[in-house]
Amino acid sequence: MIAEIGHYALVLALGLALIQSIVPVIGARRRDDTLMGVASTTALAQFAFVAVAFGALTACYVSSDFSVANVFENSHSAMPLIYKFTSVWGNHEGSMLLWVLILSLFGAAVAAFGSNLPATLKANVLAVQSWIASAFYLFILITSNPFLRLAQAPYEGRDLNPILQDMGLAIHPPLLYLGYVGFSISFSFAIAALIEGRIDAAWARWVRPWTLAAWMCLTLGIAMGSYWAYYELGWGGFWFWDPVENASLMPWIAGTALLHSAVVMEKRNALKVWTILLAILTFSLSLIGTFLVRSGVLTSVHTFASDPTRGVFILGILVLFIGGGLTLYAWRAPMLKQGGLFAPISREGALVFNNLFLTAACATVFTGTLYPLALEALTGEKISVGAPFFDLTFGPLFIPLLLMVPFGPLMPWKRGDLLGVAQRLLGAAAVAVIAIAVVFAATSGGPVLAPFGIGLAVFVMAGAVTDLVERSGVMRMPFRTALKRTQGLPRSAFGTAVAHFGLGVSLIGIVCASTWGSEAIVSVKPNATVSLQSYDLTFDGMVSRQGPNYRELVAKFTVREGGVVIGTMEPSKRSFPSRQSSTTEAALLTRGASQLYLSLGDPNEDGSIAIRLYHKPLVLLIWLGALVMFLGGALSLSDRRLRVGAPKPARNAGKPVMQPAE
C-alpha cells in the first residue's frame, strides 16, 4: 500500500509539474497575476508530493518490504537502520528520486523565498524549473520506477553493495545533488531572462545566492566524495580523475566561473551575455554529469546497473535542455543590451581572466573525460585517460589562475593599477618566497616543483589576508578607525577572503600529500614491526568479529613513535555473505593534519598478512580547505545585501527596478 501511495504521489507531482510548465508562462505573457500565481502553489505542492513519494520509498526500506523490487535488490533485513535509510538512494531508481526531490525543493524554495522577485520573472523561472522536473518525473515513471512490486515477495533482500554501506553514502550523494540540481535554478533564471528578453544587474543579484548555495553544497559534496574514496577504496588516493569524479568537477568549475562573472554583472552591469551562457553551461554540465553517471556509458560504482533505455532517455533530456537552452540563447542573446565598459586591467578584467582560465580548464577536463567515449564510438579503439593527462593540461591552466587570485579582490573596478596592486601584495609575495626557501631547505633533493606549489598556496593564503588587511586599514589607520571599518565591511568581503584562503589550504594539502607521502607495502608476521617515517607499527595479531550483516577479520596494530605508544590501528576485511563479496576497511590514525593509513591485503597460511601502509602528510588540509571554502560561501550568503535581495541603489531609487533591454 505504501509503495502505491508513493507511486501515485509521483504521478500527481508530474501532473502538477505539467500545469506549472504551461500556465505561468501564459500568465507572464498576459500579465495575469492569477495565472502567474499558480506557479508558487504548484511548486510547493510538487515538493510536498515528491516528499510523500520519497517518504514512501524510505518507509519501504525501513520496514524491509521485500515485495518492492527496489528494496529487495538493495537492502537486507539485518542491515543497520542508518544504511536502510541511505540505501534509499544507494541505487539508480532511488537516487533519481532523490534528484527530483531536491529539484522540487529548490522550486519550492524559489516559490517561498522569491517574494521580492518581479512577478513575471518568478513565474517564468518556476515554469522552466518545472520543464526540467517534468522530464525527470517522466524518466523515473517510465524507465526507473522504484515502486514496482515483485509478484512473490522474497524472504530476504539482496543487500546493499557493501562498499556503499558507509556513512559516506549518507552525506555524499545528497550534498552532491544539492549542488548539481541547485544549478538548475541558475539555468531557469537564465532561460527566464532570455524568454523575457531583458536582464540587468538586479537579475544577477537574485541569481547569485542560489548559485552560491549550490556551489557550496557541491564543494562539500565533492570533498566528501573524495574523502570517502580515500578511506574506503584502500588505495589512499584522494582524487583519481575518474570520469565520474570529473562529472562532478566540471559543473563545479563552471559554477565557480559563474559565481565570479555574476559579481561583475551585479556590480558593473557588464558580462551579461556571458553570464547567461555560463548559467546555461553550468547546468548543462550537471546534466551531462547525470547522463555520464546514470546512463551506464561509464561503468563504475556510481552506475549501479545499466539499462540502455535509460541512457537514451537521459540523452533525450540532455539534448532537449542543452540544445534548447543554447538555441534560445543564440536567438535571444544578441537582443540583450551590452553592459558597461572596463579597462583590461581592472577588477572586471581580473574576473574575466578568472573566467577564461576556469572555462579553459573545464574544457580540458571535458575533453579528457569524453575523448575516450568519442574515440571508442568512432574507431573502436579503447583508451584510458588518467592522471598524467590532467596533470599536463589542468595543472598548467590552474597555475596562472591561482597566481592571479590575490590580485583580483585588490583591483579596483573599471580601471586598475597593476603596479599598485603588486606593491600591496609585496608582503604576501615575500611570505611565499620565504615559504619556498624553507620548504626547499627542508626537503633538499626532493621534487623541484613541489616547493613552488607550496609557495603558490602560501601566496594565495597571504593574498587573502592582505585583502582583508587592506580593506580594514588595520596597518594604515588608528586601531579604532580600523575596527570601525572592519565592522562596516560587507560579509561578502570576508566571504571572498575566506574562500580564497581555503583554496590555498587545499592546495597545500594536495601538494604535500601527493609529493611527500611515503608508503610501505609488505607482508608482516605476528609480533613483527613495520617502520615508516618516525612510526613503528607492531602487528599484534588477528581477531575475527561478527558484524550485523558481515563477518570481519580484524588485524590489530600498536603504533609507536620514538618508543611511546600513540595509538592502535585496526584495519579489517569484511565479508558479506549475502553478496558473497568483501570490502577492506582501512584504519586511519590522525596526527595533526597528517594521517597514517593502513589497509589489509590477503592473509597468508603462515599467519602473516600483506599490508599497505601510507604516511600522508597534511592530507586532511585538502578537505579542510574545502570546508573553509564552504564557510567562505556561507559568510557571503549571509551578506545582508543578498539576503534582502532588493536591488535598490540609492541613486536609482526612483527608477523602476527592471528596465527593458532595448
Partner 1 sequence: MTRKQRRLVLIGGSLGVLALAAVLVLSALKDSIVFFNSPTDVVEKHVAPGTRIRLGGLVKPGTVQRGDNLAVRFEVTDGNRAIAVNYKGILPDLFREGQGVITEGTLEPGGTFKADSVLAKHDEKYMPKEVADALKKQGHWKDDYEQKK
Amino acid at site 115: S
Rule CB under 8 A: choose which of 167, 392, 489, 528 binds partner 1: 392
Tell me: does residue 602 bind partner 1 (CB under 8 A).
Answer: yes
Rule CB under 8 A: choose which of 139, 283, 357, 398 binds partner 1: 357
End-to-end C-alpha distance for the chain, whole angstroms = 57
Tell me: does residue 414 bind partner 1 (CB under 8 A).
Answer: no
Q: Is 32 exposed, middle or buried (0-12, 13-18, 19+ CB in 10 A)?
A: middle
Q: Least distance to partner 1 from the beta carbon of 115, Å? A: 38
For residue 647, CA distances in Å to 56, 265, 285, 302, 345 come to 42, 13, 30, 42, 27
Cell of 498: 575566506
- Please identify, among the stretches 209-217, 311-319, 363-371, 545-553, the one whose residues bind partner 1 according to the rule CB under 8 A: 363-371
- Please identify, among the stretches 43-51, 92-100, 471-479, 521-529, the one whose residues bind partner 1 according to the rule CB under 8 A: 521-529
Residue 140 phi/psi, 5-degree rounding, is -65, -50
Tell me: does residue 371 bind partner 1 (CB under 8 A).
Answer: yes
Tell me: does residue 477 bind partner 1 (CB under 8 A).
Answer: no
Q: Are the C-beta atoms of residues 47 and 90 closer than 8 Å to each other?
A: no
Mapping DSSP to helix (H, G, I), strand (E, B) and coil, where does residue 558 land? strand
Tell me: does residue 234 bind partner 1 (CB under 8 A).
Answer: yes
Neighbours of 5 (CB within 10 A): 15
Tell me: does residue 343 bind partner 1 (CB under 8 A).
Answer: yes
Tell me: does residue 37 bind partner 1 (CB under 8 A).
Answer: no
Mapping DSSP to helix (H, G, I), strand (E, B) and coil, where does residue 7 land? helix
The dihedral sign for the CA sequence 356, 362, 364, 366: negative
Rule CB under 8 A: choose which of 384, 444, 487, 546 binds partner 1: 384
Pick from 402, 275, 265: which is nearest to 347 by CA?
265
What is the rounded distance in angstroms from the CA atom of residue 112 to the CA atom of residue 472? 36
Q: Least distance to partner 1 from the beta carbon of 315, Å? A: 18
Tell me: does residue 558 bind partner 1 (CB under 8 A).
Answer: no
What is the rounded distance in angstroms from the CA atom of residue 283 to the CA atom of residue 590? 38
Window 285 to 314, contacts with partner 1 (CB under 8 A): 299-301, 305-306
Length of the chain measured in residues? 662
Rule CB under 8 A: choose which of 382, 445, 606, 656 binds partner 1: 382
Number of residues that bind partner 1 (CB under 8 A): 56
Q: Least distance to partner 1 from the beta carbon of 140, Å? A: 22
x/- binding map, residues 568-597, to partner 1, per CB under 8 A? -----x-----xxxxxx-------------
DSSP letter assigned to residue 300: S
DSSP letter assigned to residue 145: -
x/- binding map, residues 162-201, to partner 1, per CB under 8 A? -x--------------------------------------
Tell me: does residue 352 bind partner 1 (CB under 8 A).
Answer: yes
Neighbours of 82 (CB within 10 A): 13
Window 537 to 556, contacts with partner 1 (CB under 8 A): none
Cell of 393: 593540461
Using CB under 8 A, list all residues that contact partner 1.
Answer: 161, 163, 233-235, 299-301, 305-306, 341-344, 352-353, 356-357, 360-361, 363-364, 367-368, 371-372, 381-386, 388-389, 391-393, 396-397, 521-523, 573, 579-584, 599, 601-602, 604, 610-612
